Amino acid sequence: MSDPRVGLTVVHRRYVPYSHAHYAGSLVDGAYALGLFGDVATEVCIRTDGDEGLFASYSQVQFRAPVRAGDVVEVAATVTRVGTRSRTIDFEARVVCRGRPDRGGSAAEVLAEPIVAVTATGTVVVPPVA
């Protein structure tokens, strides 16, 4: 019998402020995306178990494309497995808008196709059912 929580997807969007630029070219460090994954995982746990849960581990993380200050990043988390107290979640961070400083200081555009920047699989744990 399949658990109805499997397949639940939660999506967040976040503007990446220029204050988070860490490297040349306004690049943001990879930990920024991992922080976003933690935020969306918290909402997943609230929706599936009524608790914020704890992030236990990542089984894989792949940095596929840069995230830059001025981007709008969409982060999706999908539950792929439900255990007694653990939940396995697939994550994807996509750049959906990008700053265009070449067109002006505040210019930006919506991308025709999102850029997959980071993917990961992680495990969260929740308290036992009382």
- CATH code for the domain of 36: 3.10.129.10
Q: Are 91 and 37 in contact (CB under 8 A)?
A: yes
The pLDDT, as a whole number, for residue 82 is 95
In a domain, 102, yes or no: yes
pTM: 0.94
Q: Is 46 left (phi over 0), alpha (psi -120 to 50) or beta?
A: alpha
In a domain, 130, yes or no: no
Per-10-residue mean pLDDT of the chain, 130 residues long, equals 90 95 91 96 97 96 96 98 96 96 91 98 91
In a domain, 2, yes or no: no
Q: Cα 15 to chain center, whole Å?
A: 13
In a domain, 104, yes or no: yes
Q: Could you tell me the CA-to-CA distances from 5 to 24, 27, 76, 106, 122 in Å, in that order?
A: 42, 36, 15, 41, 16
In a domain, 3, yes or no: no
The pLDDT, as a whole number, for residue 101 is 86
In a domain, 28, yes or no: yes
Count the neighbouring beta carbons within 10 Å of the beta carbon of residue 79: 23
Reported as type and span, the H/E element at residue 46 is helix 31-49
Identify the domain containing residue 82 by its residue range. Answer: 8-125
According to DSSP, the residues that pair with 94 across neighbouring strands are 74, 116
In a domain, 1, yes or no: no
In a domain, 83, yes or no: yes
The pLDDT, as a whole number, for residue 105 is 84
Q: How many domains does the chain have?
A: 1
